[in-house]
């Protein structure tokens, strides 16, 4: 017999469980007490509830109940365990340093500590590392490799290699293809730093238009994405970027960014360029329009707030104040990733729901509004308590 | 349907649950995750596990499973709830301030905030206060009033009134009876401050021997009882007390304390008296010898460490270094409490296990050593995790 | 040559410098920058400004400029130095523990750490302790022993011995004399805890009226005196004391306190007694009326707030709500201290300015209101800055 | 009359006072007590000591005694004051936002808050801003404009404009001239991020060799320069940079950095390139060899640790492990700054002591080793204290 009372089960999670609230609803109804609002705690509660008698079996019990995207790293008193969702939406890699195994999301983490890359954990794989070595199981009846394209577009660091492809090289390729799809007559190519830099270098390389680092990023301010609210996100754009006026003044410029979500950053950046004296500002985006929300790992806005979900490209161009606006095509994106025939619509090579609405997993929580309301920590609805 | 997910169930507990570990063992085995090592959390987990659909029914489900001593105060979004164990081992009183009800352990808390005393909560009573008023239920098949005598001896503040009796007056009565049981020829009566003061005043009143505050307590140091370890308890005795040498020098003194647990404080205090020049030191204790451990609310030592559990009175007198040693008799104690025939051995009026070994509740956890070990947070025994 | 730049001059000060602001004014005018508003920093700045070349000479330079009451303990890299003001207003004693010298204000500190009392530091004495031993100098042309009577009345702990006299015994003697000066027909003698306890015991001993600890002090609340503002002092009295109703109800009581300053505590305590059912409340104070402010170590109120400075005893009695009120006489106080002829008005044995207005030192700062204003940290007067 | 006691004199300082220790020595000797080891406090102490009676006169008294590099911003209750050293070694600019004046070191600070640039504060100028407006004085008998070239090379942000010149454009020009002085046959130009980026773009533009962002900087780690010790600086280089292996593997690369101080970063970066598969690594530096220490604002190492102070270029090349090494010439640097005849050796246009040893001010503290020792806070030498 084993209990959970002995401590010893720590879990780290990259991703998002898409049926966490439904599972939580049932668990709470049956007497579990949650300590947090995190979807990750649901996994722990499911492990605790399992009637199996071995740690791995209990974990598998839990994994077979959860839906969504996850790369998990688990530490018990005796084991280091890694687990990747059956579509491999989030990456997970195995490294080795002086004989010790390492599990991490990206290869750059291995580089930084001087470890060797061993291999990627496969979709649906559960890898168990003990003092006796490493073994793997795959508890799922069906797995299918569909890494999230957003890892190449935005999430991963440029110095990482995912599934054998350099993220930096992929982003430069996006710029190369963008230059073919949208040739523009301009004086300079300017990246929105830092995420637009590789695509802008790719565009410049292909178009022969000079690359200029005309926007300086203030590194004392954090990433736009993780600011808590829209209003603080607003003012932080102003604090974050400053133009080199002498590079911009009187020029026709091509501005390159990795993506447009709400469009608020683009509005600010284009205004910055105009205030610095730019004659024309052509905005080019190194991915297709984001029309569908993400549920697999980032706090993207709901559909209503996604600029491309509700506007034509012409309307978007007006909204952001650009002289022209272009997005890399979906097939262009797949071509830049090395698939010369573009997307395989029958068996898409990647998870690309943000552009296509094609979600590989069920999204139970998001369909059932009642569940979300009932479990709210600020509920006024507890008439029986 | 109600869930525990909405928050809103805060609990305060005076006492100790004597089958908390057994219950915890079962709960953990069935998938509950505990956030603490507190016995009180067991109550919360039982409430969460109840299949009843109303808060009070769920609480009653939990109360019917727990054993031990408890005065509980619970706050939900809509209710203030009080509950007292079926023997009324720990006190719980109801007060009122400007129409608002108050639940607290002792009446002195009501005095301090200027509230009126309404009544005692009865053994086994669950009192429910809502915006609609106050109501009571008693879910237990059998209750029996046996307040813990230690409330009068040590726990409660002297300015409290328990079950209609002034604690201060009771303690003075202990001193009165002690003077009758142990008349001693001495110059002064000296209390061990602060707990021995009322009994010493009672002794002085009865014996006509002058009361002298010959030991000064340093209030910058906390209560001896709640020091974490034996060694810090040791040194704190020295820091805590200082004699008025001029009052003690050349005198025969009667030293009065409320109780002897381990005897370490007595050793130090008697040595202090001798160092200050006392000729003779007679030690008198205002309760009987403590021969059995407490499981209802204080962290008393195990039987092996209780001085009276393992030594004769003569041995104890030698150990503490006194010229003579006397303890109030059990019947003397009951007489001082107003029962002229002493203890009713068929139906004892109070919980007095420390002197008699007569525990009113089952002590499941303490009989089953295996349970204690398996639930240890520092267990090395989690071979399956 | 020496500098102050090398660090190594720590100072502790019990007392108050009565010309600190005047000295500070001159120092600031000549370019010193103060780090605090403490009068003690003035001593440090004077030491820094001295043109002498040895530490002790520099300290003496400073001492000869300061007025007021002080017991100083100074630590440099090589020396432990003690200094007492030329009237010895504040106490300072020398102890020894295993060959190491100790300087402290009261003998109880020596008891607590197990050190031996060696002797008192004399008024005006500067004692220098180095690894080579101990030596003394007295830099003042004239010194005169006038210890502050308030040390016996209020400041010192009862377990200390000052100038050969037990503080506890002195306070009991105040109660003895008080019983002779104010015999009252009553049922019980009740101290205002904790400071009134020894005098109440003395009164009880002399009068044969029983001593009763009828007011319980809540030790979770700090001393009244050091509360920051009048309003918090007000509410804290209520929190601090609670009566034993059963001891007070229906009784004529004599309430004994060490002193009356503003009278606010007395008002509350007497009301507490009446609410608890006292028939009559006679208030007796173990020192004379405090008519003059203190400038030597406590933050007493200004003259306007001293109850006795502005009211007759009858008015005070009405104000505090007592049935009668009596104060120990000045000669009674001196007699209780062992001077059978009372106060020597030509050469008073003690500093007793609070009762007599006889201040042994100059009070320069308090005469010159302009200085106080100009040095205020919140001054609006810095037109030139 | 005015005092310093009223508070109200806050000071911010960019730069370094080169006779701070000598001044401190005299101040301490005359009785000043310092609160810090900062050279800036010396200015405050001198203001406090001034016998003048107006704030500005007192400040001028202090400025006439200090030597070195400083841009000061001072706030009193009534005034905002700016002051720049007589050589203008450190920059100081005046801005305006909605009628309110702003003083800051760099123009980028004005951009970020949306303020307008008004003008530079002149060398030796003291500017006084009150509610009545702005006025200037210049208390120095002689001033000479010699801004520190290191502002263009390293200190200032690329989006600032100093003395009418865009810092970003200057750094690109250094790369242009470097490409003319050191043409190299290579596949890619790679900057050491972030400081080498503009020079690398300039080199790429001039040489037509593609620019590649082949080293990723981890922004979670701070600037190398401000790490406290050599050993933490060492390991942080490894954490800070990671190569894009796919860009580097099998290539001949030109690595561009802004400067070499100790050379330790270069050693690591070149090794990173080789580990990533670079065939040849040519290192080019966008300024001349740093042969002399700085005393005007940065904690540069002493002469012994400056790589160029003690090694030939060939030795340096071996030490850092490069295939070739080149430095921008001194005249090339001045030409890139717009002086087509290079440096005017009779009246140098800039402060360039790091390359030439030509320090514009006296360096009193650094010549007198005795002073440094005597004022050490850890001195054991205080025999008189």
Digit-coded pLDDT (tens) for A327-351? 999 999 999 999 999 999 999 999 9
Return the partners of chain D (3 or more C-beta pairs < 8 Å).
Answer: A, C
Name the token pair of A240. Answer: 């974050």
Do residue C34 and residue D5 have CB atoms under 8 angstroms apart? yes
Indicate which of C168, C189, C191 best probes the interface with B, i.e. most B CBs within 10 Å of its own CB: C168
Closest CA to A101 of A124, A127, A70: A127
- How close A262 gets to chain D, by Cα (Å)? 23
Q: Can you tell me the distance from the alpha carbon of C187 to that of B266, in angstroms, rounded to the nearest whole number?
A: 34
Which phi and psi angles does B233 have, rounded to 5°? -65, -40
Do residue C375 and residue D9 have CB atoms under 8 angstroms apart? no
Which residues, in sequence order, are CB contacts of B132 under 8 Å at separation 6+?
A: none
CB-count burial class (<10 Å; 0-12, 13-18, 19+) for C314: exposed
Q: Can you tell me the distance from the alpha carbon of B56 to that of B59, in angstroms, rounded to the nearest whole number?
A: 5
Return the partners of chain A (3 or more C-beta pairs < 8 Å).
Answer: B, D
Name the token pair of A251. Answer: 């020029």
Closest CA to C87 of C333, C289, C307, C350: C350
Closest CA to B78 of A385, A376, A375: A385
- The answer, yes or no, to whether residue D219 has pLDDT greater than 80, is no
Indicate which of A165, A168, A240 best probes the interface with D, i.e. most D CBs within 10 Å of its own CB: A168
Of A10-19, B130-139, C361-370, the range with the lowest mean pLDDT is C361-370
The pLDDT confidence band at residue C273, using thresholds 50, 70 and 90, is very high
Please answer whether residues C363 and C17 qualify as being in contact, where contact means their C-beta atoms are separated by less than 8 angstroms: no
CB-count burial class (<10 Å; 0-12, 13-18, 19+) for C342: middle
CA angle D151, D156, D157 (to 5 degrees): 155
Q: Can you tell me the distance from the alpha carbon of C172 to that of C162, in angstroms, rounded to the nearest whole number?
A: 15
Do residue A216 and residue D159 have CB atoms under 8 angstroms apart? yes
Q: Can you tell me the distance from the alpha carbon of C80 to that of C103, in angstroms, rounded to the nearest whole number?
A: 9
Helix or strand run (H / E) with residue A352 = none
Report pLDDT digits (tens) over C300-332.
Answer: 667 888 999 999 999 999 999 999 999 999 999
Enumerate the H helices of A276-377 as residue ranges: 307-310, 313-320, 330-336, 353-356, 364-367, 369-374
CB-count burial class (<10 Å; 0-12, 13-18, 19+) for B29: middle
In the Cβ-directed half-sphere of C29, how many Cα atoms lie within 13 Å?
Answer: 10
Out of B108, B161, B246, closest to residue C169 by CB: B246
Which phi and psi angles does B271 have, rounded to 5°? -65, -40
Helix or strand run (H / E) with residue C243 = strand C241-243
3-state secondary structure of A11: strand
Q: Can you tell me the distance from the alpha carbon of A344 to that of D200, in angstroms, rounded to the nearest whole number?
A: 41
Chains A and D touch (3+ CB pairs under 8 A): yes
CATH number of B166-356: 3.40.50.2020
Do residue C5 and residue D377 have CB atoms under 8 angstroms apart? yes
Q: Can you tell me the distance from the alpha carbon of B120 to that of C382, in angstroms, rounded to the nearest whole number?
A: 65
- Would you tell me which CATH number, out of the four given (3.50.50.60, 1.10.3720.10, 3.40.50.2020, 2.60.40.420), belongs to the domain C160-356? 3.40.50.2020
Residue of B nearest to C239 (CA): B112
* pLDDT average, residue stretch A214-235: 56
Helix or strand run (H / E) with residue C318 = helix C313-320
pLDDT score of B297:
78
3-state secondary structure of A88: coil
Beta bridge partner(s), residue B162 = B165
CB-count burial class (<10 Å; 0-12, 13-18, 19+) for B80: middle
DSSP string, C263-301: SHHHHHHHHHHHHTT-SEEEEEESS----S---SSS-PP
Do residue B112 and residue C242 have CB atoms under 8 angstroms apart? yes
Q: Can you tell me the distance from the alpha carbon of C187 to that of B218, in angstroms, rounded to the nearest whole number?
A: 31
The pLDDT mean for chain C works out to 88
A-B Cβ pairs (cutoff 8 Å, strict): 121
Residue of A nearest to B36 (CA): A5
pLDDT score of A232:
45
Residue of C nearest to D46 (CA): C31
DSSP C122: P
Do residue C382 and residue D76 have CB atoms under 8 angstroms apart? yes
Chains B and D touch (3+ CB pairs under 8 A): no
* Sequence ranges of chain B with CATH classification 3.40.50.2020: 166-356
Query: What ipTM score was computed for the predicted complex, to two decimals?
Result: 0.84
Q: Can you tell me the distance from the alpha carbon of D233 to that of D217, in angstroms, rounded to the nearest whole number?
A: 15
- Note every long-range contact of D161-164, with CB atoms under 8 Å and residues 24 or more positions apart, other chains counting: D161/A245, D161/A246, D161/D107, D161/D117, D162/D91, D162/D106, D162/D107, D163/D91, D163/D120
Report pLDDT digits (tens) over D229-266.
Answer: 544 444 444 567 899 999 999 999 999 999 999 999 99
Indicate which of A204, A244, A271 best probes the interface with D, i.e. most D CBs within 10 Å of its own CB: A244
Return the partners of chain C (3 or more C-beta pairs < 8 Å).
Answer: B, D
Helix or strand run (H / E) with residue A46 = helix A39-49
Q: Can you tell me the distance from the alpha carbon of B282 to that of D294, in angstroms, rounded to the nearest whole number?
A: 80
The pLDDT confidence band at residue A1, using thresholds 50, 70 and 90, is very low
Distance of CA B371 to the CA centre of its chain: 26
Report pLDDT digits (tens) over C47-102.
Answer: 999 999 888 999 999 999 999 999 999 999 889 999 999 999 999 999 999 999 99
Q: Using omega within 30 degrees of 0 as the cis cutoff, is the peptide bond preceding A194 cis?
A: yes
- Cβ-based contacts of A157 with chain D (< 8 Å): 216, 242
Enumerate the H helices of B125-194 as residue ranges: 150, 167-181
- How close D99 gets to chain A, by Cα (Å)? 20
Q: Can you tell me the distance from the alpha carbon of C240 to that of C193, in angstroms, rounded to the nearest whole number?
A: 10
pLDDT score of A265:
92
Sign of the alpha-carbon torsion through C113, C118, C123, C127: negative
pLDDT score of B369:
60
Q: Can you tell me the distance from the alpha carbon of A66 to that of A21, in angstroms, rounded to the nearest whole number?
A: 10
Beta bridge partner(s), residue B282 = B254, B324
The pLDDT confidence band at residue A299, using thresholds 50, 70 and 90, is low
pLDDT score of C380:
33
Percent of chain D surpassing pLDDT 70: 87
Report pLDDT digits (tens) over D142-165.
Answer: 999 999 999 999 999 999 999 999
Q: Can you tell me the distance from the alpha carbon of D117 to that of D120, in angstroms, rounded to the nearest whole number?
A: 9
Report pLDDT digits (tens) over D280-297.
Answer: 999 999 999 999 999 887
Report pLDDT digits (tens) over D187-215.
Answer: 999 999 988 999 999 999 999 999 999 99
Closest CA to B59 of B71, B48, B70: B48
Longest CA–CA separation in chain B, Å? 76
Do residue D53 and residue C385 have CB atoms under 8 angstroms apart? no
- Cβ-based contacts of D3 with chain C (< 8 Å): 25, 28-29, 374-375, 382
* Sequence ranges of chain A with CATH classification 3.60.20.10: 9-137
Report pLDDT digits (tens) over D348-365.
Answer: 999 999 999 999 998 888
Please answer whether residues A329 and A289 qualify as being in contact, where contact means their C-beta atoms are separated by less than 8 angstroms: no
Beta bridge partner(s), residue D325 = D283
Please answer whether residues A256 and A280 qualify as being in contact, where contact means their C-beta atoms are separated by less than 8 angstroms: no
Indicate which of C159, C166, C220 best probes the interface with B, i.e. most B CBs within 10 Å of its own CB: C159
DSSP D153: I
- Would you tell me which CATH number, out of the four given (3.40.50.2020, 3.40.309.10, 3.40.30.110, 1.10.10.10), belongs to the domain A150-356? 3.40.50.2020
Name the token pair of A275. Answer: 């205030």
Which phi and psi angles does A272 have, rounded to 5°? -55, -45
Indicate which of B29, B79, B382, B383 best probes the interface with A, i.e. most A CBs within 10 Å of its own CB: B382
Q: Can you tell me the distance from the alpha carbon of B29 to that of C84, in angstroms, rounded to the nearest whole number?
A: 70
Please state the pTM of the whole predicted model. 0.84
How many other CB atoms sit within 10 Å of the CB of residue B367? 11
Which residues, in sequence order, are CB contacts of A201 under 8 Å at separation 6+?
A: A172, A175, A191, A211, D211, D212, D213
Do residue C3 and residue D9 have CB atoms under 8 angstroms apart? no
pLDDT 10s digit of each residue in chain B, 385 long? 234 445 578 999 999 999 999 999 899 989 999 988 899 999 999 999 999 988 899 999 999 999 999 999 999 988 999 999 999 999 999 999 999 999 999 999 998 888 999 999 999 999 999 999 999 999 999 999 999 999 999 999 999 999 999 999 999 999 999 999 999 999 999 999 988 999 999 999 999 999 999 998 876 544 444 444 544 444 544 567 899 999 999 999 999 999 999 999 999 999 999 999 999 999 999 999 999 999 887 666 678 889 999 999 999 999 999 999 999 999 999 999 999 999 999 999 999 999 999 999 988 887 766 555 544 333 333 434 4
Out of D3, D380, D384, closest to residue C55 by CB: D384
- Cβ-based contacts of C239 with chain B (< 8 Å): 112
Give the architecture (CATH level 2) of B9-137: 4-Layer Sandwich (3.60)
Q: Can you tell me the distance from the alpha carbon of B202 to that of B178, in angstroms, rounded to the nearest whole number?
A: 9
Do residue D201 and residue A216 have CB atoms under 8 angstroms apart? no
CATH number of D164-356: 3.40.50.2020
Chains C and D touch (3+ CB pairs under 8 A): yes
Residue of A nearest to D221 (CA): A219
Beta bridge partner(s), residue A93 = A104, A120
3-state secondary structure of A191: strand
Which phi and psi angles does B76 have, rounded to 5°? -115, -175
The pLDDT confidence band at residue A382, using thresholds 50, 70 and 90, is very low
First to last CA, chain D: 35
Do residue A239 and residue D159 have CB atoms under 8 angstroms apart? no
pLDDT score of C59:
95
Please answer whether residues B1 and A380 qualify as being in contact, where contact means their C-beta atoms are separated by less than 8 angstroms: no
Report pLDDT digits (tens) over A169-213.
Answer: 999 999 999 999 999 999 999 999 988 999 999 999 999 999 999
């Amino acid at each position: 017999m084993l209990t959970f009372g002995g401590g010893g089960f720590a879990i780290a999670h990259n991703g998002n469980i898409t049926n966490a609230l439904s599972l939580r609803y049932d668990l709470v109804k049956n007497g579990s007490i949650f300590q947090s609002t995190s979807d990750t705690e649901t996994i722990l509660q499911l492990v605790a509830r399992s009637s199996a008698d071995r740690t791995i079996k209990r974990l598998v019990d839990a994994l077979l109940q959860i839906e969504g995207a996850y790369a998990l790293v688990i530490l018990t008193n005796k084991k280091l365990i890694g687990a990747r969702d059956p579509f491999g939406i989030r990456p997970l890699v195995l490294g080795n340093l002086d004989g010790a195994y390492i599990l991490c999301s990206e290869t750059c983490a291995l580089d930084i500590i001087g470890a060797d890359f061993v291999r990627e954990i496969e979709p649906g794989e559960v890898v168990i590392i003990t003092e006796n070595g490493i073994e793997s199981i795959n508890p799922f009846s069906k797995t299918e490799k569909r890494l999230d394209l957003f890892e190449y577009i935005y999430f991963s660091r440029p110095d990482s290699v995912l599934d054998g492809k350099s993220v930096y090289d992929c982003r430069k390729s996006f710029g190369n293809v963008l230059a073919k799809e949208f040739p523009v007559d301009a004086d300079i190519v300017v990246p929105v730093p830092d995420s637009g830099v590789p695509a802008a270098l790719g565009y410049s390389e292909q178009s022969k238009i000079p690359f200029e680092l005309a926007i300086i990023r203030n590194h004392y301010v954090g990433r736009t994405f993780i600011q808590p609210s829209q209003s603080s996100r607003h003012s932080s754009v102003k604090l974050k970027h400053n133009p080199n006026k002498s590079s911009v003044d009187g020029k026709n410029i091509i501005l390159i960014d990795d993506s447009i979500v709400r469009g608020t950053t683009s509005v600010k950046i284009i205004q910055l360029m105009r205030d610095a004296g730019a004659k024309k500002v052509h905005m080019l985006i190194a991915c297709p329009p984001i029309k569908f929300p993400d549920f697999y790992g980032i706090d993207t806005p709901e559909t209503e707030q996604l600029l491309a979900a509700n506007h034509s490209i012409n309307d978007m161009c007006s909204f952001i104040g650009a002289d022209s606006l272009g997005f890399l095509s979906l097939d262009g994106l797949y071509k830049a990733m090395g698939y010369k025939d573009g997307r395989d619509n029958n068996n898409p090579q990647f998870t690309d729901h943000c552009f296509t609405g094609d979600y590989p997993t069920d999204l139970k929580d998001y369909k059932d509004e009642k569940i979300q309301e009932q479990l709210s920590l600020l509920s006024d609805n507890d008439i029986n308590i």
